[in-house]
Amino acid sequence: MISNPQRSASAPTPVQPVRGKAGLVKRFRAVSSEINTATIAALDARHPWFTRLDADSRSWISMVARTGIDGFVTWLAGEHFDPESIFEVAPRLMARRISLRQTVDLVRTTTEVVEEQIGQLLPRNDRPALQLGILQYSREVAFAAAAIYARAAEARGAWDSRIEASVIDAVVRAETDESVLSRASTLGWDTESKVTVAIGGVRPDTNIDVLRRAAGKVGLDMLASPQGERLVCIFGGRSVTSPVETSHAIDKLHHFFAEGPVVIGPVVDSLAEASQSAREAASGYRAARAWPEGPTTLLSGDLLPERALSGDGHARRMLASEVYGALASNKELLETAVSFLDHGSSMEATARAMFVHPNTVRYRLKRITEITGYNPANSREAYILRMAITLGRLQNTRA
């Protein structure tokens, strides 16, 4: 008979005259225990993943297989049957232990074994109707399994997104305790990986999963969450090495952020220390508007003057203590830096003012670059040095 397209999926297409269906169902029910035993034996023989499961998990899968075979009897009899009910006998935990692919293996193997057993245990006249029925039934069961896993994936994705957002929020608030590290671990994060935090504008169409896949292609692990108008990303993985190399890797993801700067905090040793990187990245992101001529992806250390002027005490201390402190430890280098900056970065004018040879000035400028990390001959870095000298002297005056 031709099936009716309006017929419910839970009710089978008649495959045999109604008068003979009761006998067909009765004969199949009589051999269902043997079919179930053969199914479990086939799972054990054909699928290594099944043999590696613990006893409880194997027991639950056996029950699912048994329920599926019993459900076929109910379905074949024309009674109402919901295919998803097959999987309700197993606890929800099973969805995490058994993948969708393994569930498909379970359905396929059960179907194949039932077909084989029909050919061996039931009369020849019963076989065409039963084989057609099991094909229709297995299709409905497969769709039911896919629907269950799809809902589980959506729920798990939403839950993971909430956990991810909570981890980001804790890092930004400098509240990274053991519970935060534990939550990050549930997302598969390596809590011992080197870490940096990047902050940029959030696009209205930003898709975090697409960004995560793109980050993976450049060797970056990522946790990310929008916070208002900004997108906060924690990066780890093999591409988080030196600040410059890490910046190059993150720059490849710039198009996922809104137009404007993406500021990267310093690289730290682990997620537990990520709040330091987040604080500096946030400070740099706020101050970046004062240097619109700068690169679109930049390190928070490149914005020390702007951060200091915007009220970042940490940036002022870095300039005054670290940069100026390195210069102040060598009186000749400090004097050369000040004179070079005062004379418009002219080597000859500096040499004349200090009564030294230009080569001496050249050598001292090289040493200044080595100990501070900033080159006085570069206009931008000269500005940073000038700011450091000013703040350092103010700090020493107050002391």
- Say if residue 3's pLDDT is above 50: no
CATH number assigned to the domain comprising residue 378: 1.10.10.2840
Question: How many Cβ atoms sit within 10 Å of the Cβ of residue 79?
Answer: 12
Whether 250 is covered by a domain: the verdict is: yes
* pLDDT in the model for residue 90: 66
Overall domain count for the chain: 3
The Cα-based distances of 98 to 104, 105, 112 in angstroms read 10, 10, 20
Q: What is the pTM of this model?
A: 0.65
Give yes or no: residues 271 and 327 share one domain.
no
Whether residue 302 lies inside any domain: the answer is: yes
Domain identity same for 97 and 186: no
Do 206 and 253 fall into the same domain? yes
Structural domain contains residue 61: yes
Asked, for residue 336, whether it belongs to a domain, the answer is yes
Whether residue 380 is found in the same domain as residue 298:
no
pLDDT at residue 124, as a whole number:
86
Taking residues 148-170, report their average pLDDT.
76
Rounded alpha-carbon distances, angstroms, from residue 109 to 19, 124, 144: 31, 22, 16
Which of 29-43, 234-248, 325-339 is the least confident region?
29-43
Distance, in Å, from the CA atom of 77 to the CA atom of 332, rounded to the nearest integer, reads 99
| Structural domain includes residue 268 | yes
Residue % of the chain over a pLDDT of 70: 90
Question: Does 296 map to a domain?
Answer: yes
Query: Do 219 and 127 fall within a single domain?
Result: no
- Residue 64 is part of a domain; what is its CATH number? 1.10.490
β-sheet bridge partners, residue 195? 268
Highest mean pLDDT among 74-88, 176-190, 224-238: 224-238
Instruction: Return the CATH number at 295.
Output: 3.30.70.2730
Residue 170 counted as domain residue? no
Q: Is residue 157 part of a domain?
A: no
**Where among 149, 166, 192 does a domain terminate?**
149
102 in the same domain as 191 = no
| pLDDT tens figures, 286-328 | 999 999 999 999 999 999 999 999 999 999 999 999 999 999 9
Same domain, 355 and 273: no
Provide the residue range defining the domain that includes 44.
18-149
Query: How far is the C-alpha of 277 from the C-alpha of 268, rounded, in Å?
Result: 7
